Structure 1
Amino acid sequence: MPTTAFPPSRRILAGLSLAVLLPSLSVSIVNTGLPTLMQVFSTPFSAVQWVILGYLLAMTALITSTGYLGDRLGRKRILLIGIALFCIASLLATGAQDITMLVMARIGQGLGAAAMTTLAMACVGEVIPKAKSGGALGLLGTMSAIGTTLGPALGGILIDTMGWQAMFWVPIPLAVLAWVLISRYLPGQTDLSRQPTSNLDIPGMCWLMTTLLFYTLALTLERGHYGWLNGSLLMLALISLAVLIAIERQAANPLLAVHLFQDPQFSSGLIASVAATTVVMAALVVGPFYLGRFFDLNSTQVGLVVSIGPAFATLTSFPAGRLVDRIGSARTITQGLSAMLVASALLVCIPASWRVLGYAIPLALLTTGYATFQTANNTAVLAHSQGGQRGLISGMLNLARNLGLITGASLMGATFAWVVNITGQQHAPTAARYGMQVTFAVATVLVLIALVSQMRVKHASPAKSSQENSSPHQAAIHQAANRHASDDPY
């Protein structure tokens, strides 16, 4: 009787839902805690940034290869290894004695999260009938969005009531439950690919990670005082990028479809995605420092304010898909970026007398515009892909989003720290406000560049836009695009 009330397929779906919830929760829950971690470990902002960056870099490095390994070695096996690694790394984070140990633990979390994020979605097809897979995938996307929305508020409450370690031990029992459910009820994979693992683009993976590492170090070292070291690292990042492109042109199974960048719609869509995600990540990294220092809010209050952004993004994703159906992706992209532009400008010029509302209202508008843009942009990029390339292009959309998250946490975070440092009053409330205003002045420029580039592409290829809106596969494309938007950390 209990099995009938809660059949194995639902238990599997519950385990997979937790596997998707935890990675998104682990990104957003730490944002609120960054100011506390700075105080606890007596470390500068440039060091505490790596609590986020280590996680994102590790996740980005493996997210394209875990699916490949799962197809060949067994999705259940790799997923369980990922959950176990995430759980062990979370336990190590709770006992971290210094910032270096905490960052290393976060890297371990990111490696496990890459497998959890990629393979939980892939495992749905093994237990859920095709006719019901859309609802199951929608549930996983919703769980990801819930994790992102709950993270900031939950992080703030945990810090104020139980200390910073609670941010890392609270996910452990959920990870154990996910491991037990998946281990016991998810069937083993019977359709393992016969393609040898040697076809995995290992050189591409290595050079991608090298490029991202040099790029991130260039933006975070020297505590915001940029000099020859930062310039040298940036040059190494450019050289690594050139090598990566050369390797990908020759790879049998490339991580990056370099030839697709010849399509203006594709290239401008990915560039705009990087810029937009950079701006939203800046709001969620810089926001806790600004709110805590300028308005003297505690961690719980900061978390509740910051949660407004992910909440509005979550509520916007589905209506944005309907808007794309009505007016097309090109116009929806313009509207989303325009909203982001207005919000970024408001964060620069809105009077301090508005107090917390002066941050909360622009943040809600910013993330609403972002969710609208991402849904439409994903639709536009996927609509111009061939069926056999859709998985590759989907991976590149994820890569562009993660690059934006890394840039927002590093470049925009470093901009805030640099401005605060040059005031000579690092802990003064006015320094935090000035740093926030300069950061979003830069953000305004980034969104403006993305908006102008998208409008130029729109006017240059009206025929393609019309063809996209009349595609017979548009419903499937919107479903995939909405799934990407729901999976987005913001």
Structure 2
Amino acid sequence: MTRTSPAAAGAAGMGLAVLAASVGTSAANVALPELAVAFDASPGQVRWVVVAYLLGMTATSVAVGDLGDRLGHRRVLLAGLALFGGAALAGACAPGLGVLVAARGVQGVGAAVMTALPLAIARATAGPERVGRTMGLLGTTSAVGTAAGPALGGLLIGLGGWRAPFLAMVPVGLLALVLVARGPVGDSPGARPVRFDGPGAGLLIAATALYGLALTAPTDRWPTGPLLVAAALLTAAFVLVETRSTHPVVPMRVLGSRAVAIGLGTNVVVAAVMMTTLVVGPFFLADALHLPVAAIGAIMAVGPVISAGTGIPAGRLVDRAGASVTVTVGLVMLTAGALALAFFPVWWGVVGYVAALLVLTPGYQLFLAANTTAMLNRTAERHRGTAAGLLGLSRNLGLITGASALGAVFTGAVGSVDPAAADGRPAAWRLTFLTAAALTAGAALASRFAARARSGADRPG
């Protein structure tokens, strides 16, 4: 037998890093009831175990990407894997809920590294004809991790209690670290000046964290309005600082590109729509279709399973048809899928729900592979870590916004009708996904506008 080549080891390590970060996002959810008993805490208190991870991952996405550009993507990825594993061990050994929450926040920082930098490394090492399928493979890995997280978490808790899911992440992070360390270097430190823009990074982290708190933390203790205002003010201060910095975290010329800005904006919209299916879906399946919990869990797993199966084919289509065209195709499919979700489940129940997912989810994978490829292709190599971090930031902001804003559309619509009315839930469901369809249709139009603008700019005058 031949030894694994450095390239294969590095690719496996990056895939495992993305997988571990995704599992870390969803596996802890099933531990919350156990944590409430173990620490004699309320559901609102143990919820911070999930929120801290998400906030750490979201707030630092861009900063860790920028560090990768300055110090070397592989070097920072190794540090992030070590941080992830160490924080997982600290969480597993936590004597109290406060220590566990702090460890999860630190682990989220490691997860930010593990989701952003593999994209930058893969773009640098994949041949031009294989970039799309590489991004599709990483997207598939992420979907598998998200889908498998709750099942793995439940299994591990059954075997070893609430500490088991956190403890299991330690060897996974260590294995990924060893594989990445065995892989090819792939980049060299110093692609950008090493000097780090601390004020800019601090403002961006604070603004993102406040926005996340506003939409995820319990509103009785964290007032949403003041937090959103503070986040907006810090964002304005960040832009001002970055325009004057000689070594900015986010060079304004990166964001100044219309195509990049639209790519990030559509990423927010798509993530919000996909999160809505996970947040609103269980309520509709339980209250409108009257399904038992076991059936709801099985049906909710359909989307991630489809996503895992369509990621690599989507990436191959990106390589053949081009990223720009495939982004639009994906957004059109997402719009059609959202429209189908608005009506099919109401008409045909579970069959209609699954049929709509068969349109929506492949569209999501097409968009994800194409948009990631296009974003990294349009960014200079010395800024690809930052671009990957911005993609992670926009995705996470979309997830948070979808859970809050579009979830509020559903609950608000439910509350506006007579609770005794038979069609209350279906009407709220239709309104929610018609809103989602309008958002993705707008994103598709913006994407085509950007593509035509680029095409016009490329024509000789």
TM over 0.5: yes
CA contact (8 A) 1:94 1:165 kept: yes
Residue number in structure 2 paired with 1:445: 435
1:386 Cα shift? 5.8
Alignment of 1:302-381 (within 5 A): 303-321=297-315, 323=317, 332-351=326-345, 354=348, 356-381=350-375
CA contact (8 A) 1:204 1:247 kept: yes
Q: Distance in 1 between matches of 2:8 and 2:450?
A: 49
Alignment of 1:203-218 (within 5 A): 203-218=199-214
Q: Deviations over 1:47-76 (max 9, x none)?
A: 666444422321233333335545666766
Q: 1:465 to 1:445 in 2, by over 3 A?
A: farther
Alignment of 1:83-482 (within 5 A): 83-94=81-92, 101-119=99-117, 143-158=141-156, 165-180=163-178, 185=182, 191-193=188-190, 197=194, 199-223=195-219, 229-259=223-253, 263-287=257-281, 294-298=290-294, 303-321=297-315, 323=317, 332-351=326-345, 354=348, 356-381=350-375, 392-412=386-406, 434=425, 438=428, 441-455=431-445, 458=448, 462=452, 464-465=454-455
1:110 Cα shift? 0.8
**Structure 2 counterpart of 1:280, one-letter code:** M
Q: 1:464 to 1:355 in 2, by over 3 A?
A: same
Q: Distance in 1 between matches of 2:281 and 2:328?
A: 26
Q: 1:261 to 1:83 in 2, by over 3 A?
A: closer
CA contact (8 A) 1:216 1:410 kept: no
Q: Distance in 2 between matches of 1:364 and 1:36?
A: 35
Structure 1: which 5+ runs fail to align?
A: 471-490
TM-score (norm 1): 0.72
CA contact (8 A) 1:349 1:437 kept: no
Moved more, 347-356 or 84-93: 347-356
Q: 1:123 to 1:105 in 2, by over 3 A?
A: same
TM-score (norm 2): 0.76
1:352 Cα shift? 6.2
1:236 Cα shift? 1.2
Q: Deviations over 1:141-183 (max 9, x none)?
A: 6544432343344345555676554433332332233345556
CA contact (8 A) 1:220 1:414 kept: no
Q: 1:179 to 1:290 in 2, by over 3 A?
A: farther
CA contact (8 A) 1:49 1:410 kept: no
SS of structure 2 residue aligned to 1:64 = helix
SS of structure 1 residue aligned to 2:60 = helix
Q: Distance in 2 between matches of 1:187 and 1:265?
A: 32
Q: Distance in 1 between matches of 2:331 and 2:123?
A: 35
Q: 1:70 to 1:458 in 2, by over 3 A?
A: closer
Q: 1:461 to 1:92 in 2, by over 3 A?
A: closer
1:239 Cα shift? 1.0
Q: Distance in 2 between matches of 1:328 and 1:78?
A: 31
Q: Distance in 2 between matches of 1:195 and 1:42?
A: 47
Match of 1:22 among 9, 17, 20: 20
CA contact (8 A) 2:332 2:444 kept: no
Alignment of 1:72-91 (within 5 A): 78-91=76-89
1:272 Cα shift? 1.8
SS of structure 1 residue aligned to 2:293 = coil
**Structure 1 counterpart of 2:439, one-letter code:** I
Q: Distance in 1 between matches of 2:71 and 2:322?
A: 41
Q: Deviations over 1:463-488 (max 9, x none)?
A: 634788x9xxxxxxxxxxxxxxxxxx
Q: 1:461 to 1:410 in 2, by over 3 A?
A: closer
Q: Deviations over 1:334-356 (max 9, x none)?
A: 44333323433444444568554
1:247 Cα shift? 1.4
RMSD, aligned CA: 4.7
Q: Distance in 2 between matches of 1:267 and 1:274?
A: 11
Q: Distance in 2 between matches of 1:311 and 1:466?
A: 40
Q: 1:43 to 1:139 in 2, by over 3 A?
A: same
1:388 Cα shift? 6.0
1:208 Cα shift? 1.2
Q: 1:23 to 1:267 in 2, by over 3 A?
A: same
**Structure 1 counterpart of 2:245, one-letter code:** A
Matched residues, number: 454
Q: Deviations over 1:431-483 (max 9, x none)?
A: 9x94x974773454244134235425635863634788x9xxxxxxxxxxxxx
Q: 1:264 to 1:17 in 2, by over 3 A?
A: closer
SS of structure 2 residue aligned to 1:170 = helix
Give the % identical residues: 37
SS of structure 2 residue aligned to 1:252 = coil
**Structure 1 counterpart of 2:269, one-letter code:** A
CA contact (8 A) 2:140 2:312 kept: no
Structure 2: which 5+ runs fail to align?
A: none
Q: Distance in 1 between matches of 2:446 and 2:7?
A: 48
1:200 Cα shift? 1.5
Q: 1:250 to 1:412 in 2, by over 3 A?
A: same
Q: 1:392 to 1:49 in 2, by over 3 A?
A: same
1:245 Cα shift? 1.3
